[in-house]
Structure 1
Amino acid sequence: MSEDFSRRELARFLRSRRERVTPADVGLPAGPRRRAAGLRREEVAVLAGLSPTWYTYLEQGRDIHPSAEVLDSLARVLGLTEDERRYMHLLAHGKVNKPRPLAGELSAEEIVRQLVHTAESSAYPVYAVNLYCDLVAWNRAATSYYTDFSRLPPDRRNMLRWMLEAPEAKELLPEWTEEIHDLAARWRAMMATRDGDGRLDKLIAEFRELSPVFDRWWETHDVQEHRSRTRHFRHPRLGDQAMRLIVVQAADFAPCVVVFHVPAWLPDDEPVID
């Protein structure tokens, strides 16, 4: 979306949401001379702690840049749903600020745990990680293709940390260097939307010091979004295996992702797995 389009769309969206809120919804008297059913611009501005002139400019689609805090204040006054709040942030900043679970819904980590649990009997790995690569959940097959993460201390259950620290990672992943390159490139892409995230900055600094390979790839500034790709394994019982990684994301459990593994071969070539 171009900036001009985004500003116009945000202006139209704000007007439509303002027009559906009645004075009674926000504790204001309707008054005998009110013609429109919705709130006036100056009323929205006052309730949100903004200048009426500035808010008018915002609804006119002028080249102004509301902060994330201002947008959340408007979302509160206009009674926006979480999806509407996210949409407003996307129009204004090109990204969602602090996604929140819907009221009464499960948290992101609870949702992905349930999703991974449905694959517990699968012969192929499934795991879920959060924004920092911390492992949230994994099925039984993941422990044979990777490691039994339950045996690691909770604060060490991180997929990238395991790849960098565990000697077995290089044995199980024959293309280990390329895997580190891929993860570094994904983190580089993610940082564009996570400015000022102290924990992410700390982890990157720690991993660069921990691994010269990660440090070298980080310095390349290569970028890779979450896409389906093939990962090769040297399975201790099944031998060489090629799995296609399918990364699943959804607004309900952002910023977590669930990583499914499916055989990279065609169905007719699929071997029988006991």
Structure 2
Amino acid sequence: MTESRDTDIPEPAEFQLEFADLPHLLRAWRTEAGLKLGRGKALPQKEVAQRMGVSERWYRALESGAQVPLTLDTLTLLAQALDLGPDERTALYWYRITEVSDERQPSDDGGGRFGRLRELVDAQTTFPAYLIDHAWNVIAYNALMAGWFPWVREPEANLMRWVLQNPESREQIVDWKKQAALYLAQLRFALFRSPDDPTLNDVLTSVQHEPDCRELWNAGPRIIAFRQGGKFRLSLPHISKTELVVTAQVLLPAYRPGARFVALMPA
């Protein structure tokens, strides 16, 4: 794929039509389904309709963006027809089911829910641990996390921006390109859930100015909901003379939609 120049990067409002709309994802998923089946091309709309047990006209209307009824049973048939993985299914169901977003929650509540979560982070003395919001802004971190990654102490520290834009991350994350692709897949899921979120759109716009990130983003419609158990290889000479291998154990606080508590544990 030919790399675009920075001047060709769409603004957030334009770009969100490329990935946040269900029709775009359906076309991309049809292509991936065809490749999985060894066809070398996208599954025809007619075949997807047959797999679902609906008319081709109905499916064409859905993929064109028409307002058609979508029950959970219909979405399940659609996911099966396109051979979607668990993360893609989560995104698809999110199109039908809405939850309270972080935008409606206060950034903090005077020592309430975030306050108790901060206490949970501080209480972790064995593994690096941190708390982030829906846009990967660092809310809290323990002493071990700050020792491993001093950048978390910076004002407005953001995990997604650090991984994708800070040159330091390319030295400390051993398999940076692979991990960057996984972070971008999580960003795509977050934007599918909240396409109008200004912070997420700002992150997307800024990382698109990184040629490597733009290439990875344009490589395909990969979506990851949450990276529970994701493995990382780290090079942190100030902590260890040998390479560190850790897994990210992710917990989702019930009353803080979008927030994630993460502990980095030995693999």
Same topology, TM > 0.5: yes
Within 2, Cα distance between the matches of 1:170 and 1:64?
A: 43
CA distance in 2, matches of 1:203, 1:92: 22
Report what 1:109 is aligned to: 114
Q: 1:115 to 1:247 in 2, by over 3 A?
A: same
Q: Does 1:129 align with 2:132?
A: yes
**TM-score, normalised to structure 2's length?**
0.57
User: In structure 2, what is the Cα distance between the partners aligned to 1:217 and 1:204?
Assistant: 12
Letter in 2 for 1:202: D
Cα deviation, 1:4-54, whole Å, max 9, x if unaligned, reads xxxxxxxxxxxxxxxxxxxxxxxxxxxxxxxxxxxxxxxxxxxxxxxxxxx
Matched, 1:244 2:247: yes
SS at match of 1:224: coil
Q: CA deviation at 1:93?
A: 4.2
1:163 aligned to 2:163?
A: yes
CA distance in 1, matches of 2:105, 2:169: 34
Q: Which letter maps to 2:260?
A: V
Provide the residue aligned with 1:229 in structure 2: 230
RMSD of aligned Cα (Å): 2.9
| Contact map agreement 1:112 1:256 (CA 8 A) in 2 | no
TM-score by length of 1: 0.55
1:200-258 deviations in Å (ceiling 9; x for gaps): 1122111111x212212222221112132111111213221110111110222222101
CA–CA separation in structure 2 for the residues paired with 1:233 and 1:91: 33
Q: Name the counterpart of 1:94.
A: 97
Which segments of 5 or more consecutive residues in structure 2 lack a partner in the other structure?
1-68, 72-92
Paired position in structure 1 for 2:184: 184
Report what 2:212 is aligned to.
Answer: 213
Identity among equivalent positions (%) equals: 17
- The whole-number CA distance in structure 1 between the counterparts of 2:158 and 2:135 is 8
* Gap change, CA 1:217 and 1:248, over 3 Å in 2: same
Alignment coverage as a number of residue pairs: 171
**What amino acid sits opposite 1:245 in the alignment?**
A
What is the match of residue 261 of structure 1? 264
SS in structure 1 of the partner of residue 193 of structure 2:
coil
The Cα of 1:165 is off from its aligned counterpart by 3.4
Per-residue CA deviations over 1:166-215 (Å, capped at 9, x if unaligned) read 33222211111111111100111122211322221122111111x21221
Contact kept? 1:125, 1:139, Cα under 8 Å? yes
1:91–1:253 CA distance, 2 compared to 1 (3 A): closer
User: Offset at 1:95?
Assistant: 2.1
Bigger Rg, which one: 1
CA 1:183 to 1:108, structure 2 compared with 1: closer, same or farther past 3 Å?
Answer: farther
Tell me the amino acid that sits aligned with residue 191 of structure 2: M
- Between the aligned partners of 2:177 and 2:216, the Cα distance in structure 1 is 9
In the alignment, the residues of structure 1 paired with residue 170 and residue 183 of structure 2 have an alpha-carbon distance, to the nearest angstrom, of 15
- Counterparts of 1:108 and 1:194, CA distance in 2: 22
**Distance in 1 separating the partners of 2:201 and 2:213:** 14
Aligned equivalent of 1:146? 149
The residue that corresponds to 1:193 in the other structure is 193
Name the CA shift for 1:92/1:176 in 2 (closer, same or farther; >3 Å): closer
Gapped regions of structure 1 (runs ≥ 5): 1-62, 66-89, 265-274
Residues 129 and 258 of structure 1 are in contact (CA less than 8 Å); yes or no, is this contact kept in structure 2? yes
Note if contact 1:249-1:257 (Cα within 8 Å) is conserved in structure 2: yes
